[in-house]
Chain A
């Protein structure tokens, strides 16, 4: 789960102590602060968090999309035995779209409005492989059919505005997978879509993942969609990972109060509306992070920690069980007790 430094057999993707800092007039803003994670080949890691938690910046740093002139990126990113952060720009560019591909949040604005979708996909092919225009078009049509676009022969020459949101996201997926990347980063791929289409797109991503053996990082703010697709879940808050566990473990025994808050925020039809229990307050401003635990101002349980450590000391991400790491000052027994109580309420047990 957690990468061991200097280990010879690294996992397929391992990120160690990744930090991304943007210099601003108010000083350095640490959008991502010391994130470490790893994914085995062919598995899916979900990164969950609110807006501003640093999840998208983490993804963009792995992808190589963070502008190095505008931001300071430190740490190590190892992909299949290759370190990415130290790579020169032209090699990063070679990896982008071929070894690592990305699907973005808003399919409405992520396709170029002036070019036909087929040409946009073919452009991705020809950026990395010496393929003729005809062959590129043939591959494009095949891939579009593969991602479930009906009447492909006609649609391949359509402009993005002629397609629905779900269709456009399928086009984005086709574009991302066209060069058979080893790693696919999906940055909130369903957020902008209708609920009915969301499930289809997630299903498509995971079936294509199985077919191509792709490793997937799924970025989302919605813990509700993670359960079926992810093998592991990392919860991010204030630029840090606050809890990471296998998906089953995280849903059955979440320990970090923030994760509990996220789980309580998922609306469910089988629950009374008043039981929906959002996390109070707003995410912290990355310019002015709390001194102690970044979640402390919104935490319901910080007063249970003796000596007010939550206010003054940053907790470390510590092992809490097998494949389960939590960043919290609460005692393990106490966390588990709180977790059980919250889950009971969520399950609708009589109080």
Chain B
């Protein structure tokens, strides 16, 4: 896992240094002269060779570092230091730390919503296979699946907030400060973000359940004379929903990296918004920081899912 992270950071770092555009040129405003650019380049440490920059970057994560040490106002960045954004004049770490909770709450809420809706409707459809409830659920799933999230987002925003004024205009606040406003703000983003995944999980769950209902061990359970409820819940669902744990864990991790569209529509200051604006500004240190963080979350989630799987499935348990 650490090897993976190492290669990942190298790739990300060098890849972004290959990007066109001169970050040093972007740091000086309108009154720009080659001399200022060169001075800035030195101040940013961009005049050094890329491998040296990388080593400084990595050692910054573990030991902290100081930017432009020879200038009158050196910038001290304590460990873990992911770099310094000269566009925003702020440390990357504190920018991320401010945006991360927003994304976290957004992702968790959407995750719960889509799992509950997706799995329960999927099971419901599977148990009524071929009849109208199944067709209805699959129809809903198809609609949810084919609707782009910016479309749902804008439609919801237009009707619920602007036209009918059922909810106030979204303005993010921590759930610990004002839970009421928090839920009012997050409700629509949660729905928008959950729709696509819920639609996907309905199909996934339905297919899984239909498959295990035909499995031999479910027939064995039936042949034991167990009530149908026990057959379905204890025997079929236990086996059928286990692989969904894997998929769900990874999807959550993906979401934790930031939801660009939903965050922008509802003007939530999360990682997605931050990533988007950093790309627009060519804010190299910030892009690098966010990419590495997102990748770390996904790698970590993979590990957690694998460990979780050994708990739920005895076949992969190491003895």
Contact = CB atoms under 8 A, between A and B. Distances in A.
Interface of A: 63, 65, 93-98, 101-102, 104, 106, 109-114, 123-124, 127-128, 159, 161, 172, 175
Nearest to B313: A114
Contacts of A114: 238-239, 242, 312-314
25 contacts: A63-B223, A65-B223, A93-B227, A94-B225, A96-B223, A97-B223, A97-B225, A101-B223, A104-B219, A104-B220, A104-B223, A109-B215, A109-B216, A110-B219, A112-B217, A112-B220, A112-B235, A114-B313, A114-B314, A123-B226, A124-B224, A127-B224, A161-B315, A175-B220, A175-B224
Contacts of A112: 217, 220-221, 235, 238-239
Contacts of A175: 220, 224
A280 B52 CA distance: 77
Contacts of B224: 96-97, 123-124, 127, 175
A104 B313 contact: no
B315 A98 contact: no
B217 A96 contact: no
A96 B314 CA distance: 28
Contact of A96 (B215, B222, B313, B315): B222
Contacts of B226: 93, 97, 123, 127
Contacts of B242: 114
Nearest to B316: A161
Contacts of B313: 113-114
Nearest to A63: B223
B219 A128 contact: no
Contacts of A65: 219, 222-223
B314 A161 contact: yes
Given A96-B222, A128-B225, 9 more contacts: A93-B225, A101-B223, A104-B220, A109-B217, A112-B220, A114-B314, A161-B314, A161-B315, A175-B224
Contacts of B239: 112-114
A109 B235 CA distance: 13
A65 B217 CA distance: 13
A5 B226 CA distance: 33
B217 A113 contact: yes
A96 B225 contact: yes
Contacts of A93: 225-228
Interface in B167-222: 215-217, 219-222
Contacts of B216: 104, 106, 109-110
Contacts of B215: 109
A110 B222 contact: no
Contact of A113 (B221, B225, B315): B315
Interface string B70-98: 00000000000000000000000000000
Contact of B223 (A94, A102, A161): A102
A114 B235 CA distance: 9
Contacts of A128: 225
A340 to B, nearest CB: 43
A96 B226 CA distance: 8
Contacts of A98: 225
Contacts of B217: 109-113
